[in-house]
Amino acid sequence: MITSSQNTHVKRWRGLLESPGIDQFGQFLVSGERLVRETLSEHSHRCLELILPPKGESLPALRPDVRLYQVDHKLFDQLDIFGTRFPLLVCRAPEFKVSKLPSLPEGLELLCPLGDPANVGAVIRTAVAMGVSKIIILQESAHPLHPKAVRSASGAIFCATFYRGPSIGDVSSEDLVVGLDLKGESLPTFNWPQNIRVLIGEEGKGLGELSLTQRLTIPISSSINSLNATMAVGMAMYAYRLQHPLNLETAVGRQKDP
């Protein structure tokens, strides 16, 4: 039973609640009974540790090298930020490649600058469902392995291909990017190239004065100023897939956890 807040493991686990710690240790936390069980079953090679509450359920570690740690109530509550009362899982972070822009896109790619980790997770889940080939995390974005993003993505984290990208201010028309904005060509009439990148802006802010290949807007009622970013990107990806249907066999193969 670990009871000290100065324990080296506890310090590391607390670090995984924020972006710098995730990058420093190359690990992230998974919480929630369904997601923890699913991860142990389907992505066991990424599982490193189980953190158990004092009287919590002991889960089967499907790999013998998954270590079990038990902590007291106070420490567990500090780590269990969603109040699940269920064992927490520490996983190995996936590799983040570097996206060199400008370069030619391959299929449908997504540029994400969203600062809200819950929105980032929701966008990742939609992107995986729509067969996005690359999710490029811009410097302004919340970390896609932040606990809130992992929870919102609901397992899609393990099926996504992540790239680190530049600042949103460095994105230009040379990068073959269409931006979802408050003004632009109507989304339903846009003729989508097969190889294209989609850039989403923060809700209400738009994309400012960026020089983009094309700006698209989603027609909405005048009683609403803007759509939630996660809703807008889902509609844009669906519009793309209407013109370039998803190859389900290819998509299933790509979405297997590397």
- Taking the whole predicted model, whether its pTM rises above 0.85 is answered as yes
CB burial class (10 A; 0-12, 13-18, 19+) of residue 65? exposed
CATH at 150: 3.40.1280.10
Q: Which of 61, 92, 123 is the last residue of a domain?
A: 92
Q: For residue 1, is it within any domain?
A: no
Measured distance CA(91)–CA(100) in Å, rounded: 28
Q: Dump pLDDT digits (tens) for 109-160.
A: 999 999 999 999 999 999 999 999 999 999 999 999 999 999 999 999 999 9
* Structure confidence at residue 73 (pLDDT): 93
Task: Please tell me which residue, 223 or 192, carries the higher pLDDT value.
Answer: 192
Written as one letter, the residue type at 196 is I
Q: Which of 92, 112, 142 is the last residue of a domain?
A: 92
Measured distance CA(148)–CA(136) in Å, rounded: 19
Structure tokens at 127: 């992107």
pLDDT greater than 50 at residue 54: yes
* Structure confidence at residue 16 (pLDDT): 98
Same domain flag for 160 and 246:
yes
Q: How far is CA 111 from the centre of its chain?
A: 12
Which residue in 63, 80, 257 sits closest to 157, CA to CA? 257
Task: Please tell me which residue, 226 or 7, carries the higher pLDDT value.
Answer: 7
CB burial class (10 A; 0-12, 13-18, 19+) of residue 235? middle
* Structure confidence at residue 251 (pLDDT): 55
For 60-69, 212-221, 244-253, which range has the lowest pLDDT when averaged over its residues? 244-253
Indicate the number of domains in the chain.
2
Which residue in 104, 146, 127 sits closest to 200, CA to CA? 127
Same domain flag for 164 and 145:
yes
Measured distance CA(91)–CA(39) in Å, rounded: 9
Q: How far is CA 136 from the centre of its chain?
A: 10
Task: Please tell me which residue, 33 or 252, carries the higher pLDDT value.
Answer: 33
* Structure confidence at residue 256 (pLDDT): 58
Q: How many CA atoms lie within 13 A of 126 on its CB side?
A: 20
Same domain flag for 47 and 152:
no
Measured distance CA(70)–CA(54) in Å, rounded: 6
DSSP SS3 for 220: coil
Q: For residue 2, is it within any domain?
A: no
User: Domain containing 64: what range?
Assistant: 8-92
Same domain flag for 78 and 103:
no
pLDDT greater than 50 at residue 252: no
Q: How many CA atoms lie within 13 A of 52 on its CB side?
A: 14
pLDDT greater than 70 at residue 13: yes
